[in-house]
Structure 1
Amino acid sequence: MTSSKVYLEIVKQLREMITIDGLKPGDKIPSERELSERLNFGRSSVREAYRALELLGLIETRRGEGTFIRDFRGNQLVQLLGTFILQDEKAKRDVFETKNYIEMDCLRLVLQRMDDHHLAILHDWINKEEHFTDDEFFYRIIEMSDNHLFLRIWLILKEYYYSLNPIQDTYKFEDYILLLNGLAEKDEAKTLSAYYNLRNLSSF
């Protein structure tokens, strides 16, 4: 099972658990360890799911107390977006396009805000990781852009994108290196050209 499918399955089962147990906003949910044992998923996968849900504002972790359901009834973004996407073919294409635009805007922000230290950390990570996913790479890029709202929207869009496109695309390691080289040279044209090449885009 791919990492995105594991994430979606954990979220799905957690939602079912909340419904069955009759939990409501303010109630405590199982810890990472407890949920990992209960669902038989790796602790790291559960941690990733919890982190994403917290970034989306659906749960919150209180130091020394645990993890709790937040009152998100006033924000039906996820449900509305899901209904919109599932009923409209053009909307499915819009998800892919919007996800790409967010990644490109974050690359532009990184060009403005990144220093040599952050670039060195990214270089070390990409060289040490024997296998990394496209999600892991761009998660780091978006974190470096220091735009929390972009990160929230991107997390939502990528999960919908994978739910609609279960076969994930594969990318070449060399294309990520070209992208990093563009960032290192602080060359926007070169960076975006490398991104277009990575995504196999000509124009939107």
Structure 2
Amino acid sequence: MTTSKVYIETFWQIHRMIEEAGLQPGDRLPSERELAERLQVGRSSVREALRALELLGLIETRRGEGTFMKPFGEHQLIQLLGSFILQGNREKRDLVETKLLIERTCLQLACERMTEEKFEHIAQVEHTYHLFFRRIVEATDNYLLLRIWLVLHDFFEHVYTIDVPSEFYDEMSQALQKKCCVEAVAVYERYVMQNMSKDK
């Protein structure tokens, strides 16, 4: 089983364990070591699964105390995204299309709402796709978009790899500084869509 499949399976095992145990907000989860032993998987897979659950708002980690349940509803987003992870080719395609549509929307909003302070915040970040684009999403001033993007990107990274050249960051920065939405989207389509490769 590939690393990504172990991570996804661990995610669902922990999710089922939470439901079966009837854990409520404020209840403490077993430690990483205990979960790894109980589920018979590596601690790295447990760590990634817990991170995904935290991004979805199910749990929170308190330094020196452990991991605890947060208040939650039906978590429809988990069910929705989970049904698209590592399934058939059509589902993977839909996941990609959804992420690309959201990122285009984020680019347009970020351009429209760009300020000198926001641009400096983007320009100073390390040139890795996740960190760079997160700053762009933050520039939209839309917390819901940011949260959805974080969840999508976290799952996405376990299925696909986005490898863009340094020119992407330079050209995107220029477009954002000029607040040129058309140019920003064109740069995105030229580099991101053409450099997305299946993660084996």
TM-score (structure 2 length as normaliser)? 0.69
Alignment of 1:2-151 (within 5 A): 8=7, 12=11, 15=14, 22=21, 24-26=23-25, 27-29=27-29, 35=32, 50=51, 53-60=53-60, 67-72=67-72, 74-84=74-84, 86-126=86-126, 132-151=127-146
1:145-178 deviation per Cα after TM superposition (whole angstroms, max 9, x unaligned): 122221222223223333333xx23210111110
Distance 1:188 1:62 in 2: 40
Quote the residue 2:149 is aligned against: 154
- Distance, in Å, in 2 between the alignment partners of 1:16 and 1:98 is 24
The unaligned stretches of length 5 or more in structure 2 are: 37-41, 195-200
Could you say which structure has the higher helix fraction?
1
Structure 1 letter corresponding to 2:114 = M
Shift of 1:180: 0.7
Task: Quote the residue 1:196 is aligned against.
Answer: 189
* CA distance in structure 2 between the aligned counterparts of 1:58 and 1:18, rounded to whole angstroms: 13
For 1:80 and 1:125, how far apart are their aligned partners in 2? 32
For 1:95, give the aligned amino acid.
L
Distance 1:14 1:70, change over 3 A: farther
CA shift in 2, pair 1:144/1:191, >3 Å: same
1:186 to 176, 179, 183: 179
Cα drift, residue 86 of structure 1: 4.7
Aligned identity (percent) is: 36
Listed as ranges, the gaps of 5+ residues in structure 1 are: 127-131
Counterpart position of 1:129: none
State the SS of the aligned residue for 2:75.
coil
Q: Is the 8 A contact 1:25 1:68 kept in 2?
A: no
Partner of 1:169: 162
